[in-house]
Structure 1
Amino acid sequence: MTQTKSVDLTINLKDNKYYFNRELSWLEFNYRVLNEALAACTPLLERLKFTAIFSSNLDEFFMVRIAGLKQQIQAGVTKLTFDGCTPLEQLVAISERLHSLIKEQDYLFEYTLRNLLAVQGIRLVNYIDLDQKQRKYLHQYFDINIFPVLTPLAVDTSHPFPYISNLSLNLGVVICNPETKEEHFARVKVPSVLPRFIALPQKLYSQTDSKPIVWQGIPLEQVIAHNLEALFPGMIVQECYPFRVTRNADLSVEEDEADDLLLAIEEELRKRNIGRSAVRLEIHASTPKLIRQKLVEDLELEEIDVYDIQGLLGLKDLLYFLSFPYPKLKYESWNSIIPKALNKVKRIISNNNNKKLESKKQNIFSLIRQSDILVHHPYQSFSASVEQFVTQAAYDPDVLTIKMTLYRTSGDSPIIEALIAAAANEKQVVTLIELKARFDEENNIIWARRLEQSGVHVVYGLVGLKTHTKIALIVRKEEEKIRRYAHIGTGNYNSKTANLYTDLGLFSCREELGADLTDLFNFLTGYSCQKLYRKLLVAPVNMRNRILSMINREVEHCQKGGKGHIVAKMNSLVDPEIIEALYLASQVGVKIDLIIRGICCLRPGIEGISSNIKVISIIGRFLEHSRIFYLYNGGRKEVYIGSADWMTRNFVRRVEAITLVDDLKISCELEEILRVMLGDNCQAWELKSSGNYVRRFPINGNYKKNSQKIFMKMALESL
């Protein structure tokens, strides 16, 4: 008789020592991003890109997460997080970690990447290194192109400290009146409407004996700094120092009190564009103490909020260099392939501004009727699959209805155009646009208005919930029968990010799935208390409870002497209830493999608690964004894909959908994706119980296994 494995009930799994702090875990994720810039094997311009992404990520982190902590402190909140930290303790720990990270990034750009660029003939120089001809050119350039845009703002008893806008780069200037000998302080904003880097004409490139120069330029703020006399005629400019301010930019909309959600969010956007309280000051390390103190006091900050920078401020602007046409300094180009299952699909083509289908090919709906289809982006084409699905529906005379959720979409989206065309073709088109998609609110308002003006029924979501699910439903009349075609994805309906993010999409016309999506759209657009779904796990309705029951099912298999195995790939794992369930599962012998790109609050590898849990994070040229969930289920394997991470917000404050994959072939494909990623020994980082992430490398003569390169190879071999 098989011995039953039991749980040690003496262990308090809610003890905060078993959990990592959410914010500190995110910082470690961003450090893994920075490591792609630190790695010598990363192509040079891609190293600049990862440096810029690290900075851009930090901007959002301060605008939202740090701002939230500061608000809690000001409100006197002392409640502990589930990892045992107060808001103030978190803020102190974050500052300590961040100061060292930013110093490392600063040093990397100034003393490594800048020199490597010069070796390749790309020279970003400082003003003091320019010769007289170059300075004369920039002086003329300043007079014509920069000076008219600038507005110096004095600071004195009659001129209060000016409002410093969010994420703005500025110069703090000390000037002296030569007659009175009085010193004054002024602020000059570096205009964001002008290019951050000013290129010199080729004829003025510095002569060098090394590799020929292909580009030479200088930061905009240095051109301004060395021509300040024009802004303060008759005064002596004594010194100037760059600084950059970050402000609270999170939206706070009282949805249940808003008569018109769109107008309420527009008003909040106006406030955010101005910015609320300052949360960070970045300042050049050479700035004198008196100027530093003045900025800190006037911005109502503390020393903990100040970050000294030795080199350039605002390194997210380094993305500028990605436009340079030097393929040898970038990743090898990748063109997504058309999935084999869709090779026979008709394409929508233009003919004298009219749209029509190619002849002698099947439409996409006939192919979906033959079998479910899985697409894996960016290895497989988004335009040839998802965009064709919606576009063909727009022009297909048998299509009656198109329903979609849009969380984020691109500015020139073919999907938006297809929805507008569908409305013009007298189809019923319903689009749920999430106005509260952070930092995409303005774009979504623009598209919402355009769709409404075109006859599309636009819904803005549910009060208190963000609609994060990625679903589309096409209703088609076929031989006196109504058939529903579904697409359920892990990523946004955005053609630009589809080339940068790894995501999955499932096409199906299975009746139960179509019925589930119909019920879910009714929940989103009307009044519905639907609780039961056939194939879907839906948040906030039943998802967390269903996931907990599936974890417990693996526990029961193990306790009866069987095998338990869970593999979950997602962006973040935060929810304490799920983490506790995973600890219990680990205790009874369930093998748990987690592929968590970003935040992970679970502490793996603790003897007697999580010794059966392994966590890896994969950081590569593509942003890992897909969500896959595998459960062994006593040999009756189940695989799910969908939009939700295992975070409390996803279970409670968002509308999410995860679907069971019924097709055995597709289920095996998803298992293979997980297997390849778990075997990655190039881009994978393994989380230790200490909280440190250790990068994997091939050992003992093992082959390099870069999962993203393997998927590219697999895509090509499938042709």
Structure 2
Amino acid sequence: MIMTKTKDINKVINLSDSQYYLNRELSWLEFNRRVLHEALDRRTPLLEKLKFSAIFSSNLDEFFMVRVALLKEQVNAQLSQRSPDGRTPQQQLEAIAQQLRPMVQEQHRHFQQVLCPELASHGIHILNYTDITLEERNYLKQQFQQKIFPVLTPLAVDPSHPFPLMANLSLNLAVLVQAPNSTEEKFARVKVPNILPRFISLPQKSPTDNNKPNHWRGVPIEQAIAHNLEALFPGMIIKEYHLFRLTRDADLEFAEQEADDLLLAIQQELRKRHFGGSVVRLEIQPSMPSSVRQMLMAEMELSDFDVYEIEGLLNLKDLMSFMALPLPELKDPPFSAVIPPRLRHFHQPSKIANPDDEEKSIFSVIEQKDLLVHHPYESFSASVEEFIAQAARDPDVLAIKMTLYRTSGDSEIVHSLIAAAESGKQVAVLVELKARFDEENNITWAQKLEKSGIHVVYGLVGLKTHTKTALVVRKQGENIRRYVHIGTGNYNSKTAKLYTDLGLLSCREELGADLTDLFNYLTGYSCQSSYRKLLVSPVNMRDRMIALIKREIEHCKNGNKAHIIAKMNSLVDPQIIATLYEASSAGVEIDLIVRGICCLRPQVPQVSENIRVISIVGRFLEHSRIFHFHNNGKNEVFIGSADWMPRNLDRRVEAVTPVEEPELVQNLQNILQILLQDNRQAWELQSDGSYIQRHPDKNETERSAQALLMQMTHQS
């Protein structure tokens, strides 16, 4: 418990009081509301609006599979432990439903009433079956018979056919049929196959429609199935059909301490994910009759509380497929990452990097001074991938060690690691099998790496390894030198084009020694309790972060300027929040850039009136973590993999590094200032937990931080 004195010396405030904390789940919903706003914002290009609506739906799927599922488990277990804001699990579920239902209704109403007409005006027609011509219906029937019908499996429900087990996130048709000589209605379920495209394109009626080009015309696949059900139930009368979708608890549960083989344990749990978890949400259309609704609820053990009525198209995350349309005028302007200036000389076609040529080697660049790379503005492939690729080719490199949390399906880094091992180098990789929803992908890569002779570690029992680190050991003459990459983002070339992340490339001896100790901790047995430079979870990061905040408090008490700027994905940890409140109460100025969840309540008199919180939601996902402490003019800046959440500080292996090169410190300060001055995609958190989007004043220029950083990078 942290207490602080106010200006009224007779009043002491308990900074751990629940009134000073926002609810984690409701704060996440507010983040997803900001995502939805991008789909509603008239300034967003049309296909980008579809993308953001799809992301909103995809985010909700994961929210239900993990967070809502956890709360329901707690309710079923009759747990009454309250969240830091004082709510029981049941109260949180009720608050989620109250806040979420209007958001979902708004999303679908906007799609039907605004986006669909806008799409049609640009020649993109997402049609209902009733809107198409007889000729098009015949074409659709032919497509159904040739490509869809062979995949379908109707499942009857009667005394000899039990209610079918349905996959997580599956889209289904509830079909009521009747035999010609009977009055009894029978129920059957038809799964909409997710291995086929969700939308079926129709032949173009003509080169133009109403003098406007037709870029795409089509219908959802479930409508093609629904209007051809007689092929699935020959001789039966199709009475009615209704679409529904279900979401299951998909968080893996296994006893790590008791698992003899972590890989095998996770593989076994993955088989359960699609069918094994309890249903936590049922999405239906309002037209579904009460009898069918009640039957589904009974079979899935749901209440009305778990049912969401959706007007129109279900599962809007499939709208993402329209981003593949070749219509650049309806998307964000194209952007290509630039090669960092200090690396351009060996990326010129006439100067292909040769590991024997020290002047062209990335190692020689890092030796001159540390290199900071900022993605997606600066190229991931030309910096991080090139670092690993040159290490794999370089005959003087003796060893490469890396952590892989999430990597892309066709990873150049993985190929480089395999090539390095095949050339005789020592290669050790920690592949985190417990990276949620990437377990299968990571198992595949772990097995491929092992087959190539790489030492693969699957992570630590009880901890996720979330750190983004690479260590290269290189022989230079008679000496050994260690080169490091410490980043904020995953070694994933796909997300490196969509997420903002930072990475430090360095050969500082203390960082090399720290990473050596860290990898020994990850691959062997170690009780390492201190590091030279790195802040490492769960070893010293929590204590170091709190000490850095308290140092600003001391500077302020001594009459000096004190300022903290921190950028992260989420701020949840109660101890960190209470320490920030203590700093604010002492007069420390605090600016927080928190993309997603923020449980800190800003602008509360005598508690957080010196704390300002913004969130930026834009073209790129803000993923970088930067921690800046004024330190009485001796600025200290850190970057790394950790948010200020209990899981990052206590239950994950994380690494945060200081950035010490004065020029790079200044670069990070500039980035933070650009983000803080955003008046296009920045939202200000209010003390009640709501957010207000900034807009430029009449005489003020619009400043999008991401647009400005793109522009500045291309001018460098």
Q: What's the offset of the Cα at 1:6? A: 7.2
Letter paired with 1:251: L
1:245-394 mapped onto 2 (5 Å cutoff): 245-345=246-346, 362-394=360-392
Q: Could you list the per-position Cα deviations for residues 306-338 of structure 1 after superposition, in whole angstroms to 9, with x for gaps in the alignment?
A: 111111101110011000000000000000000
Report the equivalent of 2:646.
Answer: 648
Mapped to 2, the partners of 1:350 and 1:716 lie a distance apart of: 22
Report the equivalent of 2:137.
Answer: 135
SS in 1 for 2:36: helix
Of 185, 199, 202, the residue aligned with 2:201 is 199
Of 609, 612, 615, the residue aligned with 1:611 is 609
Q: What's the offset of the Cα at 1:89? A: 0.5
* Larger deviation, residues 151-160 vs 536-545: 151-160
Report the equivalent of 2:77.
Answer: 75
**C-alpha spacing 1:220/1:5, structure 2 compared with 1 (3 Å):** closer
Report the equivalent of 1:104.
Answer: 106
Structure 1, unaligned runs of 5 or more: none
Report the equivalent of 1:151.
Answer: 153
Mapped to 2, the partners of 1:34 and 1:349 lie a distance apart of: 47
Of 468, 480, 504, the residue aligned with 2:466 is 468
Report the equivalent of 2:173.
Answer: 171
Check conservation: 1:348, 1:392, Cα contact below 8 A: no
Check conservation: 1:154, 1:187, Cα contact below 8 A: yes
Of 414, 420, 444, the residue aligned with 1:446 is 444
Mapped to 2, the partners of 1:388 and 1:643 lie a distance apart of: 21
Report the equivalent of 2:35.
Answer: 33
Report the equivalent of 1:712.
Answer: 710
1:680 aligns with 2:681: no
Q: Could you list the per-position Cα deviations for residues 88-117 of structure 1 after superposition, in whole angstroms to 9, with x for gaps in the alignment?
A: 000011011111110011011111111111
Letter paired with 1:707: A
Q: TM-score, normalising length from structure 1? A: 0.97
Report the equivalent of 1:413.
Answer: 411
Q: What's the offset of the Cα at 1:5? A: 9.1
Q: Could you list the per-position Cα deviations for residues 576-621 of structure 1 after superposition, in whole angstroms to 9, with x for gaps in the alignment?
A: 0000000000001000000000000000000100000000000000
Mapped to 1, the partners of 2:109 and 2:528 lie a distance apart of: 56
Mapped to 2, the partners of 1:274 and 1:321 lie a distance apart of: 29
Q: Could you list the per-position Cα deviations for residues 69-97 of structure 1 after superposition, in whole angstroms to 9, with x for gaps in the alignment?
A: 11111111011111101100000110111
Q: Could you list the per-position Cα deviations for residues 239-293 of structure 1 after superposition, in whole angstroms to 9, with x for gaps in the alignment?
A: 1110000000001121111111001100011111324110000001211111111
Q: Could you list the per-position Cα deviations for residues 43-69 of structure 1 after superposition, in whole angstroms to 9, with x for gaps in the alignment?
A: 101100000000000000111111111
Letter paired with 2:226: A
SS in 2 for 1:532: coil
Q: Could you list the per-position Cα deviations for residues 516-566 of structure 1 after superposition, in whole angstroms to 9, with x for gaps in the alignment?
A: 111111111111111111110000000001000111110111111111100
**C-alpha spacing 1:413/1:626, structure 2 compared with 1 (3 Å):** same
Check conservation: 1:248, 1:276, Cα contact below 8 A: yes
Q: What's the offset of the Cα at 1:212? A: 2.4
1:542 aligns with 2:544: no
SS in 1 for 2:624: coil
**C-alpha spacing 1:47/1:436, structure 2 compared with 1 (3 Å):** same
Check conservation: 2:483, 2:512, Cα contact below 8 A: yes
Structure 2, unaligned runs of 5 or more: none
Letter paired with 2:55: I
Mapped to 2, the partners of 1:186 and 1:285 lie a distance apart of: 19
SS in 2 for 1:344: helix
SS in 2 for 1:674: helix
SS in 2 for 1:409: coil
Q: TM-score, normalising length from structure 2? A: 0.97
Check conservation: 2:6, 2:606, Cα contact below 8 A: no
Check conservation: 1:63, 1:248, Cα contact below 8 A: yes
Mapped to 1, the partners of 2:378 and 2:142 lie a distance apart of: 50
Mapped to 2, the partners of 1:524 and 1:55 lie a distance apart of: 36
Mapped to 1, the partners of 2:301 and 2:212 lie a distance apart of: 49
Mapped to 1, the partners of 2:439 and 2:390 lie a distance apart of: 28
Report the equivalent of 1:12.
Answer: 14
Report the equivalent of 2:227.
Answer: 226
Check conservation: 1:341, 1:367, Cα contact below 8 A: yes
SS in 2 for 1:547: helix
Q: What's the offset of the Cα at 1:158? A: 2.2
Of 558, 561, 570, the residue aligned with 1:560 is 558
**Alignment: residue pair count:** 711
Report the equivalent of 2:212.
Answer: 211
Q: What's the offset of the Cα at 1:690? A: 1.3
Check conservation: 2:6, 2:13, Cα contact below 8 A: no
Q: What's the offset of the Cα at 1:359? A: 6.6
Letter paired with 1:370: Q
Q: What's the offset of the Cα at 1:357? A: 5.5
Report the equivalent of 1:241.
Answer: 242
1:690 aligns with 2:691: no
Report the equivalent of 2:54.
Answer: 52
Q: What's the offset of the Cα at 1:339? A: 0.6
Mapped to 1, the partners of 2:403 and 2:626 lie a distance apart of: 20
* Larger deviation, residues 528-537 vs 377-386: 528-537
Check conservation: 2:47, 2:331, Cα contact below 8 A: yes
Letter paired with 2:302: L
Check conservation: 2:207, 2:213, Cα contact below 8 A: no
* Larger deviation, residues 206-215 vs 504-513: 206-215
Q: What's the offset of the Cα at 1:232? A: 1.1
Of 113, 117, 126, the residue aligned with 2:119 is 117
Check conservation: 2:151, 2:193, Cα contact below 8 A: yes
Q: Could you list the per-position Cα deviations for residues 183-239 of structure 1 after superposition, in whole angstroms to 9, with x for gaps in the alignment?
A: 11111100111110000122x469742512121000000000001011111111011
SS in 1 for 2:680: coil
SS in 1 for 2:360: coil
Mapped to 2, the partners of 1:555 and 1:649 lie a distance apart of: 26
Q: Could you list the per-position Cα deviations for residues 442-479 of structure 1 after superposition, in whole angstroms to 9, with x for gaps in the alignment?
A: 00000000000001000111100000000000000001
Letter paired with 1:308: E
Mapped to 2, the partners of 1:496 and 1:234 lie a distance apart of: 50
Letter paired with 2:641: S
Report the equivalent of 1:91.
Answer: 93
Report the equivalent of 1:186.
Answer: 188
Report the equivalent of 1:598.
Answer: 596
Check conservation: 1:347, 1:357, Cα contact below 8 A: no
Q: Could you list the per-position Cα deviations for residues 398-417 of structure 1 after superposition, in whole angstroms to 9, with x for gaps in the alignment?
A: 00000000000001100000
Mapped to 2, the partners of 1:513 and 1:645 lie a distance apart of: 21
Letter paired with 1:564: A
1:482 aligns with 2:465: no
**C-alpha spacing 1:73/1:146, structure 2 compared with 1 (3 Å):** same
Identity between Structure 1 and Structure 2 (%): 61
Mapped to 1, the partners of 2:702 and 2:275 lie a distance apart of: 49
Letter paired with 1:378: P
Mapped to 1, the partners of 2:696 and 2:351 lie a distance apart of: 50
**C-alpha spacing 1:507/1:92, structure 2 compared with 1 (3 Å):** same
Mapped to 2, the partners of 1:360 and 1:516 lie a distance apart of: 26
Mapped to 1, the partners of 2:247 and 2:171 lie a distance apart of: 10
Report the equivalent of 1:42.
Answer: 44
Mapped to 2, the partners of 1:123 and 1:350 lie a distance apart of: 49
Check conservation: 2:482, 2:512, Cα contact below 8 A: yes
